[in-house]
Amino acid sequence: MKVGIATVQVPFTTGGAEAHVHSLCRELRLRGYQSDILTIPFKWYPSESLIHSMIMGRLADLRESYCERIDVLVALKFPAYYTRHDRKVVWLLHQHRQAYDLWETQFGDIHTWPDGEWLRNVIREHDIRYLSEARRVFTTSQTVSKRLERFTGVGSTPLYHPPPDHELLYCDKYEPFVFYPSRIDNMKRQRLLVEAARHLESNMKIVIAGAGLQTELDHLESMIREHDLGDRVRLAGFISDEDKRALYADCRCTFFGGYDEDYGYVPLESFYSRKPIVVLDDSGGGREFVEDGRNGYIIPNDPVTLARMLDQLCLDRGLAERLGGRGFDLVQEMAISWDHVISSLLRAAGV
């Protein structure tokens, strides 16, 4: 059976969405399915490019290849879910959020364009039309399902999946540092963690890993220099998967600051590594796994509050071990698995 995975990618940009796509493809192949990633290049600006991307999504013929049928199409992202297929199942990572929940926020853009209102209406109209063609719509989290229902009225079912290579994550030490691996971006709010470093009273260190926007990286480096935080905060840059697992294994706790994230691997990776996490109360999908005071902490977007939580975990290693252990127990009880994901997708497609 041939299973196509329809998605889009901004060229030269890689993050959690790309890891998600490659994991799905690999897991399908491990179970004996012929699977391939069918990618549409995506550029969202200016308006003409966004419209052209939508047209490409609709015109792409993914029903067959080399005169052989593609049996199932799993569509993940806007506008890849515009494609035609009689066995199309949507597993939605997210829509074009600038037309929805990011409209008129500091993280949006098209609301500032002269034709922004018109463009938003076009996106919404076509999303509703083409999502309705799917045999079923799944999402990656309750957060994405709630957004979809709120803005389009389209019903969906959350379908959780494990992070890549989660079985390789482990716990070794509880050294006094907080670890935050993520793409460097204003929406990921690494700035808050750097700002919190100014208010720490313990010897807790901060390790921020990831590549991303150079302008944001420059801003973080400027903050560190301005406040003389070089001995407190380390920007590790892009790191290998092996190094990431080692940092998870050794840290005291983790931090997750993404704004209204669709899913977010950091909380799950933290729990598989038996480490507690501090998340922001508007972090979206990432906080769905966090029980405040039981396996981590849910706090407001405030650097002083963040510093106090980090101080508490730094000064009480036993507390960090207990919270992290409960996080590990949670992910074991939830039994998040690719077997469940793939069987759900294929069953919905009618095969």
Using alpha carbons, select from 349, 344, 347 the residue that is nearest to residue 140: 344
- Quick check: 351 pLDDT over 90? no
Domains of the chain: 2-161+336-349 (3.40.50.2000), 166-334 (3.40.50.2000)
Q: Are strands 68-69 and 64-65 parallel, antiparallel or unpaired?
A: antiparallel
Please tell me whether residue 3 adopts helix, strand or coil conformation.
Answer: strand
- The mean pLDDT of 107-116, rounded to a whole number, is 94
- Quick check: 66 pLDDT over 90? no
Contact 110, 156 (CB under 8 A): no
pTM to 2 decimal places = 0.87
Helix (H) / strand (E) element for 6: namely strand 2-9
Identify the pLDDT of residue 130. Answer: 97
- The mean pLDDT of 9-25, rounded to a whole number, is 88
Beta-sheet strand order (sheet of 253-256):
233-237, 205-209, 177-181, 253-256, 277-280, 296-299
**Which pLDDT band, with edges at 50, 70 and 90, does 136 fall under?**
very high
**Which pLDDT band, with edges at 50, 70 and 90, does 272 fall under?**
very high
The separation between CA 287 and the C-alpha centre of its own chain, rounded to angstroms, equals 12
**DSSP string over 172-224:** ----SEEEEE--B-GGGTHHHHHHHHTT--S--EEEEE--B-HHHHHHHHHHH
- Helix/strand/coil (H/E/C) assignment for every residue in 29-45: HHCCCEEEEEEEECCCC
Identify the pLDDT of residue 111. Answer: 95
Q: What percentage of the chain carries pLDDT values higher than 70?
A: 100
User: How far separated are the first and last CA of the chain, in Å rounded?
Assistant: 9
**Which pLDDT band, with edges at 50, 70 and 90, does 315 fall under?**
very high
Cβ neighbours for 318, distance < 8 A, ≥ 6 positions apart: none
- The mean pLDDT of 112-121, rounded to a whole number, is 96
Rounded CA-CA distance 205/224 in Å is 13
- Quick check: 67 pLDDT over 90? no
Identify the pLDDT of residue 14. Answer: 79
Mean pLDDT of the chain, nearest integer: 95
Residues 193-211: tens digit of each pLDDT: 999 999 999 999 999 999 9
Rounded CA-CA distance 345/138 in Å is 8
Rounded CA-CA distance 261/264 in Å is 6
Rounded CA-CA distance 145/138 in Å is 8
Phi, psi of 101 (to 5 degrees): -70, -20
- Quick check: 7 pLDDT over 90? yes
Contact 212, 185 (CB under 8 A): yes
Identify the pLDDT of residue 8. Answer: 94
- The mean pLDDT of 219-235, rounded to a whole number, is 97
